[in-house]
Structure 1
Amino acid sequence: MLNALSRPGYKVGQYADESGTIALGCADLGIVDRGIHPYSTPDRSVTVCLYGDIYSPRTDPATTLAVLAKAYRDKGPAFLNDLVGEFFLVILDHGQHRLILANDRYGRRPVYYSTHDGQLVFSSEIKALLASGAIRPDVDPEALADVLTFGLIPGERTLLRQVQMLPPAGLLEFDLRSGELATSRYWDLRLHLQPSAESEAVLLDRLTETFSTAVERRLSPSHVNWLSLSAGMDSRTIASVINSTPNATVKAITLGFKGGYERKVTSAVAATIGVEHSFHAFDESQFTQSESEHMDLVREAVALTDGMRGTASSALTAYSARQNRRLGLDVMITGHGGEIAKLDEAYNFAINTPDDLHRIRTQPVDWTYNRLFRPNAPRFNTPSLYSGGLAQVFADAPRHHLQTIIEQVDANLPPEQLVSFLFLNELFRKRAVYALAVQRARVEIRVPFYDDDFLATVVTTPLSLRTGYKIHRYIIKRYRPELLEIVLSETRMRPFPSAAERLFRGLPYKLATRLGLFKRDVPEHYFAANADTNFFRSILQDPMTLDRGYFNPRGISSLLDEHARGRHSLNTLLHLLTIVELWHRDFLDTR
């Protein structure tokens, strides 16, 4: 199992009891010194493993495990309520003959487990469970239907029948003598969604303070902290509060295209906050790779996400991670997750109109289902595209699973509170977390917008403050108002332009862009262009694929022909189908 997790350069540690019935293993990048893994107390009463970071109580990473072991001995599992961080924690209590698995409040580190005949196997990656030989690789067709419908699996199921995910703030307790297992939650987001009665001014001040603390918590005193600086507002908000001090060196880095406007914008932001800026350009030719190289990137992303993330950006995510490692970056501060503070930009769950609010309130399942399914070409993504058991469950199972999730939330909450829950519990946990997992295989990634204290405040903040970048603007204005005078590369205007600026700068740029007169900094376009019909055909019409019985050969042929004509956007759906097949080949066919 440990070999399945370890990669070149990783720091590996393991523990086994004298009887050989209990074994723990940890594989770590080795960039940050996290001490001895696993850690046992001097009296050998408690053994601890940690994957992730604890930000409060604040300790030296090398001594964190000792602190956690003491906290557990003092308070038992109740100590979990005191932790702020992103983690998967394993505690072996020798005296109580008990094994405990726990994760953070928002599930930012996946925890997979399976039980059979009184045995428990668990890991942060499904491939390690398969390597144990303790589970049968039986595919769950309903989970497969979920992935092909939504690009994610609602709830705690996985693509394998015998494997479950631990929910956010999950606590699993396993009795080593009886083999009995119990799961619970030590904290529940659904109980913390009530809108705040405090004034907007008080909330904005608290959001500003918690966000500043979130950034400071994530700075490493022993490494260069690279701020991943884009031309957008999320990284600019981090830039407004980040400080390079003798105890925490900060530099900024941007990866983009030669000739792109992003370089000019990010250089101006870095100069304003007084940090060194590196711009690493790549030619468009680097994004027009051979099919085999593109396939290698997609397979790497599938391997690192356990096939649980179905998006068309898989190759780009893996490529970006490789670039970061090639540049020798150790710790990166990124702007992932800023959407939770701007619900009008929350991807599939963006609230843009009064009709959205009405439909969320009156038809929450329909609204959510359509928002998740719409990018995956529902006109073509029908049961007729599939075969056998998958075709039977495709029409109804995904909607039922989504309904089960939504019914767990208080129906009397305002619409934006339901969206906050769905964004964090489903979209963020099933997409962003897996995208970050690809990056974390090579670089230490720190994400201030996902801070516990910041999230606890923002989810209770009214929708009136969570649109139009109001929270971002308030934070920037408090610390670095001059950053609001720097234009955005996407619009060529300042973040909050005047009417005249919209008319004389924004509108001409938008028209010129549509005419192809300006270069746009969108690397996804180049990856999408490389994944042409022949790329998908080589996988989806391979006899190995068709013999598997998931896909209807006639439906696949029709879909590929439609994609070749170029009249419909089928790139995302074809990526979903390809990812499912590659997952089966690389995870199951090799067993």
Structure 2
Amino acid sequence: MPGIVGFITRNPDSGQGKAQLAAMLDCMLHESFYVHGTYILPEHGCYLGWVSHPDAFVNLNPIVNRAGDKILIFSGEHLDHDSFDSSGHNGQKPGTHLINLYETKGEKFLLDLNGWFAGVLVDLSQQTILLFNDRFGIHRVYYHEDDDSFAFASEAKAILSVRPETRSLDTRGLGEFLTVGTTLQNRTLFSKIFLLPGGSAWTFARASEPSKRRYFNPATCEQQPVIDAESFYDRLRSAMARLLPAYFYPANDVGVSLTGGLDTRMMMAGRPPLDDVAACYTYGGVYRPCFDVQIAAEIAATCGQRHHVIPMGADFFRNFATLANETVWLTDGCLNICGTHEVYFSRLARQLAPIRVTGNYGSEILRSVCTFKYIRPSERLFDDEIILSLDQAKDSFSQISAVHPVSFAAFEQIPWQLYGHLAAAQSQLTVRSPYTDNDLVSLMYQAPPELRRGKEISLRLISEMSPILARIRTDLGYGGNGTRLMSLLRQAHRYVLFKAEWYYNLGMPDWLTRFDHNALARRLETLFIGTHKIDHYRLWFRDQLFRYIDEVLSDGPASTRPYLNRHYYEGLTKAHRERTGNHVNEISKLVTLELIQRSLLSGDYVRRTRVAVDS
């Protein structure tokens, strides 16, 4: 995934510094179309690098002011709708705009930035180095510090490559990964590697410890008063109209990832009157055209846009071993193998457009939908130390959950739980979502609580911004025309299909799997599988991916990892071979951990690409 990389050191050996920076940068060069560069100041112990898409918002690194005493390395995007017009950011190059903001406002310029980003700003006049990220922490910065240096990177593997002491699993992070699917409270899976908190502005000055402060605190938003429903709606509609143009610019590079749900519908209803976007597309499954595909095609046609279906082909299963390895490597283990389709689809989407505008995070921000839950795995699989970490994870999850629902979604669920899918997509695409826009998130704190628990406000927005789009029913049957009775029956039917598909896939009870292979069950599958979902990993582990899963689970080193209870691990392997029980959760996490061990912890980090580091 494109990002920043570097370290600040007291070691005067510039030759060693250049070699380390090259090794770190190599780990982030995943695709031949990436562009990259370095900027070093050996006399300041400062070694910086970056990787970006060729079409990135800022592709002018390093950004240097006219006086030559301020140098900015920036990754990500600043989507400034206040100064947006059809020709860009007030006619300035984006990099110039950012460095001018810093010269005008100092560190306070970070409060003006809107988007997912991270960067380093070297101020030679002040003899300081500023490391920063976006207020949510969605653009990740991993770091490791010791007595001699402070290393940071947008990908953990860059640090793992040059700091061998970090190449072991952090026990507490492992417990969190096993129970909630991600690490919490800025921990990572790796020993002594942490995450820069969202909204950080860490300043390094010569011969002193870094000043670790945050330029943004969610409490600023939480202290806003709740307003009445009608006033809130007026502000929400105004905000959507004002912020959306920046997300659709430039139109010829934008692909809109359409679904049958509410959030991409709101984007299309309020889209700016610009030229046609490069593409509208939807990811398709292997069983049938799902509701997302059917409805998205109708939405695109109504908006006068061409719609593309990106199908999951047989090559996905044929190349699954390679794709799974890539998924774990690209995301630093943040996305388990049940997200392997994300890299596959994103590669194909890039052929249509380099920028993906998505409705992701709308349900979390606007409607407080939450899939972030503590689910304890079978203790029999693990040793006593890991069982203790499962208890610690429960306590940590309780702590982070006791916050305002919008804070939970924007500052915890999205940057932690949902990060893996985003990281996989960002390895191929520039991804944007208007639902994490600073102004929109801030406004949601003022919503009456009942509005944040329902879909009425979303349906009303669509209806008033584009009545013609409101006539198209959603994937769950909301909206559209017809009597109330018919609408309720339609919604009930779609909901039954949705739940049936979930229970037959991830939610199937163990006792029911004994009937998984009879002819009647296989015929029943055809009635609902693929109506709502495109990923069906329980079925794929049973069928197309059976051999791959068996080979990984049966591998000698995999069964002897110190965190496992070998006896019960062998029982899990046996259950998979006999196709008994629903073990998709345990299997996906254990196979992912094994791939983490092989590539990120035990890999030799032999350089695959030669990077030249100039002075």
The change in CA–CA distance for 1:125 and 1:280 in structure 2 (over 3 A counts) is: closer
> What's the Cα RMSD here?
2.8
- The alpha-carbon distance between structure 1 residues 41 and 299, as it changes in their structure 2 partners (threshold 3 A), is same
* Displacement after TM superposition at 1:25 (Å): 0.7
Aligned with 1:39 (options 58, 63, 87): 63
Residue type matched to 1:86 in 2?
A: W
Q: How has the CA–CA distance of structure 1 residues 78 and 34 changed in structure 2, closer, same or farther, with 3 Å as cutoff? A: closer
314-323 or 561-570, which deviates more: 561-570
Question: What's 1:581 paired with?
Answer: 594
Decide whether aligned partners of structure 1 residues 518 and 582 sit closer, same or farther in structure 2, where only a CA change above 3 A counts. Answer: closer
Residue 154 of structure 2 is aligned to residue 124 of structure 1: yes
SS in 1 for 2:527: coil
Match of 1:254 among 282, 290, 294: 282
* Percent of matched pairs sharing the same residue: 22
User: Are residues 1:315 and 2:315 paired?
Assistant: no
C-alpha offsets along residues 228-269 of structure 1, whole Å, 9 cap, x if unaligned?
Answer: 1111211111111113524x7454222325544544322221
Residue identity opposite 1:434 in structure 2: G
Shift in CA distance, 547/504, structure 1 to aligned 2, threshold 3 Å? closer
Secondary structure, in 3 states, of the residue corresponding to 1:99?
strand
Q: Partner of 1:313: helix, strand, or coil?
A: helix
Cα pair 2:71 2:123 within 8 Å, conserved: yes
Of residues 444, 459, 470, the one that matches 1:473 is 459
| Alignment equivalent of 1:170, drawn from 200, 218, 230 | 200
* 2:424 counterpart letter in structure 1: V
1:329 aligns with 2:353: yes
- The answer to whether the Cα contact below 8 Å between 1:338 and 1:449 also exists between their aligned partners in 2 is yes
1:197 matched to 2:226? The reply is: yes
CA shift digits 1:333-389 (9 cap, x unpaired) = 1110011245463323xxxxxxxxxxxxxxxxxxxxxxx223xxx3x521x311364
- Alpha-carbon distance change, 48 to 473 in structure 1, aligned in 2, over 3 angstroms: same
Q: CA offsets, 1:42-101, max 9 Å, x none?
A: 332111111110112652797222222232233321221222222102111222222111
Q: Gaps (5+ residues) in structure 1? A: 349-371, 410-416
CA distance change for structure 1 residues 162 and 395 in 2, over 3 Å: closer, same or farther? closer
Alignment partner of 2:539 out of 522, 529, 534 = 529
8 Å CA contact 1:341, 1:467 repeated in 2: no
1:22 is displaced (CA, Å) by 1.7
Question: Relative to structure 1, is the Cα distance of residues 134 and 227 closer, same or farther in structure 2, using a 3 angstrom cutoff?
Answer: same
Tell me the distance in 2 between the aligned counterparts of 1:550 and 1:24: 36
Asked if 1:437 corresponds to 2:450, the answer is no
Q: What is the DSSP-based 3-state SS (H/G/I as helix, E as strand, rest coil) of the residue aligned with 1:156?
A: coil
* Separation in 2, partners of 1:71, 1:214: 20
What is the CA–CA distance in structure 2 between the aligned matches of 1:300 and 1:190, rounded to whole Å?
A: 38
Offset from partner CA, 1:188-231 (integer Å, 9 cap, x none): 11342246332111111111222233321112226332111111
Q: Could you list the per-position Cα deviations for residues 371-422 of structure 1 after superposition, in whole angstroms to 9, with x for gaps in the alignment?
A: x223xxx3x521x31136434x334221233344356x4xxxxxxx2x3222
- Asked if the contact 1:316–1:527 (Cα under 8 Å) also holds between the matched residues in 2, the reply is no
Indicate how the Cα distance of structure 1 residues 160 and 420 shifts in structure 2: closer, same or farther if over 3 A, else same: same
Provide the rounded CA distance (Å) in 2 between the counterparts of 1:20 and 1:77. 20
> 436-445 or 37-46: which moved more?
37-46
Change in 2 beyond 3 A, CA 1:495/1:2: farther
Q: Is the 8 A contact 1:541 1:553 kept in 2?
A: no
Partner of 1:381: 378
- Give the match for residue 520 of structure 1: 530
CA distance in 1, matches of 2:567, 2:495: 41
1:31-430 alignment runs, 5 A limit: 31-32=55-56, 34-56=58-80, 58=84, 59=89, 63-133=93-163, 136-175=166-205, 177-194=206-223, 196-221=225-250, 223-246=252-275, 249=277, 251-257=279-285, 259-282=289-312, 285=314, 289-290=317-318, 293-310=319-336, 313-325=338-350, 327-343=351-367, 345-348=369-372, 372-374=373-375, 378=376, 380-382=377-379, 384-387=380-383, 389-391=385-387, 393-406=388-401, 409=403, 417=404, 419-430=405-416
Q: Report the TM-score when normalising by structure 1.
A: 0.85
Are the equivalent residues in 1 in contact too, given 2:76–2:116 (CA < 8 A)?
A: yes
Contact preservation (8 Å) 1:218, 1:448:
yes
**Distance in 1 of aligned mates of 2:44 and 2:532:** 53
Aligned length: 544
- Give the letter aligned to residue 253 of structure 1: Y
Q: Any stretches of 5+ residues in structure 2 without a counterpart?
A: 1-23, 501-523, 605-615
Question: How far 1:564 moved relative to its partner?
Answer: 5.5
Q: Secondary structure at the match of 2:115?
A: strand
Distance 1:122 1:547 in 2: 32
Alpha-carbon distance change, 68 to 559 in structure 1, aligned in 2, over 3 angstroms: same
Provide closer, same or farther for how the CA distance between residues 511 and 182 of structure 1 changes in structure 2, counting only shifts above 3 A: closer
Contact 2:280 2:306 in 1 (8 A): yes
SS of match in other structure, 2:184: coil
Aligned counterparts of 2:74 and 2:214: Cα–Cα separation in 1: 19
Q: Secondary structure at the match of 1:34?
A: coil
Q: In the TM superposition, what whole-angstrom CA distance separates every residue of 1:99-122 from its partner, at most 9, and x where no partner exists?
A: 111111111200111111241111
- Give the distance between the partners of 2:144 and 2:163, measured in 1 at CA: 12
